Amino acid sequence: MRANSLVWFVLTVAVLNAHAESQVLATKIANAIRSVEPGWRYTTGILNAPPPVVPNRPLLDSVWEHTAKNGKPESVDVKIFEVDSRTDAEMSLSPVREGKVHAGWRVKRFDIGDEGFLGTFRNGKRFAIHFRKGAVVVEVSSDSFRLAERFARYVAAQV
C-alpha cells in the first residue's frame, strides 16, 4: 500500500510540474509580446477544435487586438501546443507539410523554428504560419502577412 501511495505521489508531482512549466512558457510568451507591442490587448480563448493528429496540451490560445493609426482594427490569432516529443511535433505538422489543407489555401515552406510553413488563403485574404520548435507546435494567423510573421517570430524567440 505504501509503495502505491509513493507512486501516486511521484506521478502527481510530475504532472503538476509539467503543467507549471507549460504555464510558465505561456506567460513568458504573452509577456514578451506585451513588452514589444504595448498597444495590443489580448484575450485568451477556449480551444474548440477537432481531435488533433497527435495528442497535445494547449499552452496558449489567444487573440491579440489593436487599432492601427489609420483607425482600422487589426488582430492576430496565436495558438500554441506542446506535444510529447520532437517526433510528435513533426507528425502534428504532417497535414500541412503534405498540403492536406482546406480549399482556397496554398502552403509553402517558411523559414522559422525547426520547420515552418506559410499558408495563404485566396491570394492574400488570410495568412497562417505553422511551425514547430522542439516539442512545441505553433499556429499564428492574421489578415496581414506582416503581422502574422511579426507575432510568429516573437513566439519563436521565446520557445
Instruction: Supply the range of the domain harboring residue 98.
Output: 2-158
Kindly list the strands in the beta sheet with 115-121, ordered across the sheet, starting from the edge strand earlier in the chain: 41-44, 57-67, 73-82, 136-142, 126-133, 115-121, 105-109
**What is the average pLDDT score of the chain?**
84
Dump pLDDT digits (tens) for 66-83: 999 999 999 999 999 999
Lowest mean pLDDT among 5-19, 87-101, 109-123: 5-19
Across the range 129-142, mean pLDDT stands at 96
CATH number of the domain at 54, please: 3.40.1000
User: Which residue would you say has higher pLDDT here, 54 or 150?
Assistant: 150
| Interatomic CA distance for residues 1 and 57, integer angstroms | 32
Domain count, the chain: 1
Going by pLDDT thresholds of 50, 70 and 90, the confidence category of residue 103 is: very high
First and final C-alpha spacing in the chain: 41
Does the pLDDT value for residue 119 go beyond 60? yes
